[in-house]
A and B are shown apart, each in its own frame.
Chain A
Amino acid sequence: KQEVTQIPAALSVPEGENLVLNCSFTDSAIYNLQWFRQDPGKGLTSLLLIQSSQREQTSGRLNASLDKSSGRSTLYIAASQPGDSATYLCAVRRSWSGGYQKVTFGTGTKLQVIP
């Protein structure tokens, strides 16, 4: 059974800092890994998608890496801003082995960027 862990559960940083959010998974047989942000009372916004064959993806100030062998992904946020304050979730889609490709979510890291 795939287990996805995000540590820390909460993080508070001053504006301008570079920061790293972690996502660990127990089963390396993955199809892809996706990072989302969720603002309070809102839905999930997709940030980055990494295919199992890729090592990293970048979008603006965001960079996500994937190391399947160690079961880890990191989301790097450069020059953090108060607008980055949100909960960040990672989701792992299982590679196909017959039947349904389950998607497993981490419990999230709640980020607060202090002006």
Chain B
Amino acid sequence: NAGVTQTPKFRILKIGQSMTLQCTQDMNHNYMYWYRQDPGMGLKLIYYSVGAGITDKGEVPNGYNVSRTTTEDFPLRLELAAPSQTSVYFCASTMGLTQVGTGELFFGEGSRLTVL
């Protein structure tokens, strides 16, 4: 089982560059999330999606964009990278209300981003 797959695992960006973090899940989950975790801190929600074509902002959306064109994929776009975006990014997924399952939240292994 692949579960939730994130790429890349590591990336160094220069200030002002842009990039996309990829997230794919193979569990047919409707709900997908992007979190960031700063060193020694908890998880903060950036964006979430409840299904293809539906996304919404979390607690810290500034500087990021997302799209959800398919159930499987939920890419996170960083525009004009800033040092404050240095963090570890986690993608997660879980079933939606109309889906059968336990509601367990599954995480990817994370993408470690450094902006210099």
Contact = CB atoms under 8 A, between A and B. Distances in A.
Interface string A81-104: 000000001010100100011010
Interface stretch (B12-20, B64-72, B78-86, B97-105): B97-105
B34 interface: no
B103 to A, nearest CB: 5
A46 B105 contact: yes
A28 to B, nearest CB: 17
A106 interface: yes
A106 B43 CA distance: 8
A57 to B, nearest CB: 11
Contacts of B33: 103
B104 A46 contact: yes
Given A32-B102, A91-B105, A100 B48 contact: yes
A97 to B, nearest CB: 11
A23 to B, nearest CB: 13
B32 to A, nearest CB: 12
A101 B41 CA distance: 23
B26 interface: no
Contacts of B107: 36, 43-44, 46
A70 interface: no
A43 B109 contact: yes
Contacts of B43: 89, 105
Interface of A: 31-32, 34, 36, 42-44, 46, 49, 51, 89, 91, 93, 96, 100-101, 103, 105-108
